[in-house]
Copies of this chain bind each other. A is one copy, B any other.
Amino acid sequence: MAVYTEVTDEALREYLADYDLGDLVAFRGIAEGVENSNYALKTGAGDFILTLYERRVDPAELPYFLGLMEHLAAHGLPCPLPVHGRDGAALRRLAGRPAAICTFLPGVWPRRVRPEHCAPLGQALARLHAAGAGFGMARPNALGPAGWPPLLERCRATGDSVQAGLVAQLDAALAAILEAWPAPGTLPVGQIHADLFPDNVFFLDDAEHRPRVSGLIDFYFACTDLLAYDIAVCLNAWCFEADGGFNVTKARALLTAYQGVRPLSPAERAALPVLCRGAALRFLLTRLHDWTATPTGALVTRKDPLEYLRKLRFFAAVGGEAGLGL
């Protein structure tokens, strides 16, 4: 569910009066996305997405997110393009929230990932990294290695209620990951998406019925961090089967296509297993926190944190990069 803030029709009309988008045709809440309120907006000028930024998003960071999308779109990436009002501003206020209108992207996100999705994904991710190179702003990764110890502290009291002994396992895993984490300056850094799960990637079939990426959305975890960490997020999010098995065919397709655009350095290749462990821990910790902190009756579906404990164990046991399909 992703409508937390209701917008009255009067407020919407007043808001739209600041844009050159023609007449209002339709306005419907969208079920997807969990952090913000999203509406499908149709006007005389076409289809758009109107987003109201909810409490989890820091308004001070919105210029980075919107600026990055604008930069990436200008460099040919199929990502939402913020629409500017008559006064030039893309970031405005509606119903007491920061709000923005972005272009609508065609496509369908894959409910079931097939190997054929993974090469176009890898290529799109590398293009995102390449296109981000000239962007002038930076945002630290709040959910990167420096953020994991405090996140684990917030789960300490309740974590073992999910599984006995879980907190001790996470203490050990976190210490090992931080110990093995690449030293600053050893791997390329740039703008990363940091949350490129299947529901954030739209595909359309080409004339030969092969999936092609038609949209990358939801840049509200984007930050400035190790480029290869973004690959590690994707390996976590796209390459495991429902039964928990790692699908190395999918991983190889993703990595090969990525390297067709941006070859990985030897240091990046060697670091990939620990980056994957870190990414697994990051989603494990946020899911664990949400699992124990989400009030009953909330509108958000809680996601199983233990799925990522299994992924963490896989990556801890994988040995070298070859086990990941490199």
Contact residues in B for A106 (Cβ distance below 8 Å): 25-26, 42
Q: What separation, in Å, do the CA atoms of A261 and B196 have in the docked complex?
A: 55
Q: List 24 A-B contacts (CB under 8 A).
A: A1-B1, A1-B31, A3-B31, A3-B32, A6-B111, A7-B111, A8-B110, A8-B112, A9-B111, A9-B112, A10-B112, A12-B108, A24-B108, A25-B204, A26-B104, A26-B105, A27-B108, A28-B30, A29-B30, A30-B30, A31-B31, A42-B106, A297-B297, A297-B298
Q: What separation, in Å, do the CA atoms of A6 and B32 have in the docked complex?
A: 12
Contact residues in B for A31 (Cβ distance below 8 Å): 1-3, 28-31
Contact residues in B for A111 (Cβ distance below 8 Å): 6-9
Question: In chain A between 221 and 265, which residues have their CB closer than 8 angstroms to a CB of chain B?
Answer: none
Interface size on A, residues (CB 8 A): 40
B298 contacts A9, C-beta separation under 8 Å: no
Interchain nearest-CB distance for A298 vs B (Å): 7
B299 contacts A9, C-beta separation under 8 Å: no
B299 contacts A297, C-beta separation under 8 Å: no
B299 contacts A296, C-beta separation under 8 Å: no
Contact of A108 among B26, B47, B298, B302 (CB under 8 A): B26
**Which of A6, A105, A112 gathers the greatest number of chain B CB atoms within 10 Å?**
A112
Question: In chain A between 11 and 36, which residues have their CB closer than 8 angstroms to a CB of chain B?
Answer: 12-13, 24-32
> Interface digits, A33-64 against B, CB 8 Å rule (1 contact, 0 not)?
00000001010000100000000000000000
Contact residues in B for A204 (Cβ distance below 8 Å): 24-25
The 4 residue pairs across chains A and B that have the minimum distance between CB atoms: A29-B31, A1-B1, A296-B296, A27-B108
Q: What separation, in Å, do the CA atoms of A110 and B30 have in the docked complex?
A: 17
Q: Does A161 contact B (CB under 8 A)?
A: no
Contact residues in B for A186 (Cβ distance below 8 Å): none
Q: What separation, in Å, do the CA atoms of A28 and B38 have in the docked complex?
A: 11
> Interface digits, A48-85 against B, CB 8 Å rule (1 contact, 0 not)?
00000000000000000000000000000000000000
Question: In chain A between 140 and 155, which residues have their CB closer than 8 angstroms to a CB of chain B?
Answer: none
Interchain nearest-CB distance for A9 vs B (Å): 5
Contact residues in B for A219 (Cβ distance below 8 Å): none
Q: Does A107 contact B (CB under 8 A)?
A: yes
Q: What separation, in Å, do the CA atoms of A104 and B301 have in the docked complex?
A: 28
Q: Does A283 contact B (CB under 8 A)?
A: no
Question: In chain A between 154 and 206, which residues have their CB closer than 8 angstroms to a CB of chain B?
Answer: 202-205
Q: In chain B, what residue has the closest Cβ to A2?
A: B31
